[in-house]
Amino acid sequence: MTDYRKEALKIQDEIIADRRAVHGFAELGLDLPKTVAYVTEKLQSYGIDAKPCGKGGVTATIGQGGKVILLRGDMDALPMAEDTGLPYAATNGNCHSCGHDMHAAMLLGAAKLLKEHESELKGRVKFMFQPGEEILGGAAEMIRNGLLENPPVDVAFGMHTSTGGKHSDVGTISYKKDYVTFSGDFVKVTVHGKQSHGASPEMGVDAISIAAHIVTGLEELISREVSNQERSIVLTGKIYGGDSCNTQAGTCVLEVSVRAASAERRDFLKKRVKEISEGIALAFRGTAEVEYVYGMAPMYNHPDMYNCVPGYIAEIVGEENVVEVHEYGGTEDFTAVAERVPSIYVNIGTGSIAGPDITHHNPKIIFDESALPIGTAVYCQTAVRWLEEHQ
């Protein structure tokens, strides 16, 4: 069998160059014209027929017949000015501070190597170069535009950089069974009262006061209705309303983040946020309009995948460097794929050259590029070995 670790090291300079190119583009959401053009051109140079998939996405398939494994790498950046001082730093006010440039480059490397060894594949590999992960909408956009069809996908594999904690050293791959990430929901609560002059409070209904009570009520939700063994979060991150300091506010808006570690807990918290908001507003003679703006379920690692994929990865990095963990965090829109096909999502240690306290979503973060060929090899090994064992 091909030694993909050695093969990836041979093209390390190319993978690094790809990463730095994507890094410099640093485009947002579903609008990635430069990144898409670059990825498409690279795939075509490998002899791979790359196709657009929805807005900002690129997909391609190699191999002849058999089952299909999807390899995913996201490509979007964050709206923050980079502060690394790197010669290839983005200068457009955006920043690849979550490592999606690393993902895209590793997957490009895998596409190159797997295409070179296409005749050895025991099935097909589909590549998913995804936009819009940071807005939790890119995976769904690609799915709506046929990502999982023609050919239909049997299983999927995703990977993310890891920069903080004891399992973030370069060469370490960590994974978790069952639920991997939090759900993530943005809930907007609009409180309606009645505006009045501050000198005549009896003539109005103070929406700001109602909102303040709702904030307290939502904090009680976590401290009194959820086990302290869970890591659920209900956070009021933004609040705004009123027109002047001497006017009783007629409206006030709360923007609430709800995170849960299971689908069942997510449903419960969303239900209680609505009940508490509406109930408190009614108690103070107002009303509350609760809107679920967007959200994503928790990512679930399927047992059919976590029972075999870590073993494939260990063949590349060694058993001692594949670590099962019991806690993950954040929210991930690869969930949209995992809800439809058996999937697994792992973390690859990439370190933080800027220091252990500078991690994801920090404009000063500098990832260790020596992790890139390891990630490319992991993509390749996972695809090749899964297809071999599932003909």
Residues 194 and 272 in one domain: yes
Task: Report the alpha-carbon distance of residue 233 to residue 180 in Å, rounded.
Answer: 16
Give 285's pLDDT tier (boundaries 50, 70, 90): very high
Q: Report the pLDDT value the prediction gives residue 327, as an integer from 0 to 100.
A: 78
Residues 274 and 358 in one domain: no
Give the end of a domain, one of 296, 331, 349. 296
Give the end of a domain, one of 296, 316, 346. 296
Residues 287 and 365 in one domain: no
Q: Is the confidence at residue 387, as pLDDT, over 90? A: yes
Residues 249 and 339 in one domain: no
Q: Is the confidence at residue 262, as pLDDT, over 90? A: no
Beta carbons of 223 and 253 less than 8 angstroms apart: no
Give 263's pLDDT tier (boundaries 50, 70, 90): confident
CATH number of 36's domain:
3.40.630.10
> Which of 51-60, 71-80, 318-327, 381-390 bottoms out in mean pLDDT, i.e. has the lowest?
318-327
Residues 130 and 14 in one domain: yes
Q: Report the pLDDT value the prediction gives residue 253, as an integer from 0 to 100.
A: 98
The mean per-residue pLDDT over the stretch 125-149 comes to 97
Q: What crossing angle do the helices spanning 12-25 and 33-45 adopt, rounded to 10°?
A: 160
Q: Is the confidence at residue 108, as pLDDT, over 90? A: yes
The mean per-residue pLDDT over the stretch 371-378 comes to 98
Handedness of CA 158, 164, 169, 174 (dihedral sign): negative
Beta carbons of 146 and 325 less than 8 angstroms apart: no
Give 117's pLDDT tier (boundaries 50, 70, 90): very high
Q: Report the pLDDT value the prediction gives residue 340, as an integer from 0 to 100.
A: 98
Portion of the chain with pLDDT greater than 70, in percent: 100
Q: Report the pLDDT value the prediction gives residue 228, as an integer from 0 to 100.
A: 82
Name residue 135's amino acid: I
- Domain hosting 254: range is 185-296
Q: Report the pLDDT value the prediction gives residue 167, as an integer from 0 to 100.
A: 84
The tens digit of pLDDT for each residue in 301-322 reads 999 999 999 999 999 999 999 9
The tens digit of pLDDT for each residue in 10-61 reads 999 999 999 999 999 999 999 999 999 999 999 999 999 999 999 999 999 9
Looking at the whole model, is its pTM more than 0.85?
yes
Q: Report the pLDDT value the prediction gives residue 160, as an integer from 0 to 100.
A: 96
| Structure tokens belonging to residue 216 | 């307290």
> Which of 14-18, 69-73, 226-230, 243-247 bottoms out in mean pLDDT, i.e. has the lowest?
226-230
The mean per-residue pLDDT over the stretch 246-254 comes to 97
Residues 74 and 112 in one domain: yes
Give the end of a domain, one of 243, 265, 296. 296
Q: Report the pLDDT value the prediction gives residue 281, as an integer from 0 to 100.
A: 98
Beta carbons of 27 and 135 less than 8 angstroms apart: no
DSSP 50: -
Q: Report the pLDDT value the prediction gives residue 294, as an integer from 0 to 100.
A: 87
| Structure tokens belonging to residue 303 | 């047992």
Q: Report the pLDDT value the prediction gives residue 326, as an integer from 0 to 100.
A: 85
Residues 26 and 145 in one domain: yes
Task: Report the alpha-carbon distance of residue 358 to residue 380 in Å, rounded.
Answer: 30
Residues 382 and 365 in one domain: yes
Residues 238 and 263 in one domain: yes
Residues 190 and 283 in one domain: yes
Q: Tokens 């933004």 belong to which residue?
A: 238
Give 252's pLDDT tier (boundaries 50, 70, 90): very high
Q: Is the confidence at residue 215, as pLDDT, over 80? A: yes
Residues 133 and 193 in one domain: no
Q: Report the pLDDT value the prediction gives residue 153, as an integer from 0 to 100.
A: 98
CB-neighbour burial class of residue 287 (10 A; exposed 0-12, middle 13-18, buried 19+): middle
Average pLDDT of the residues of the chain:
96
Residues 31 and 142 in one domain: yes
CA 257 to chain centre: 16
Q: How many domains does the chain have?
A: 2
Task: Report the alpha-carbon distance of residue 39 to residue 75 in Å, rounded.
Answer: 10
CATH number of 191's domain:
3.30.70.360
Give 152's pLDDT tier (boundaries 50, 70, 90): very high
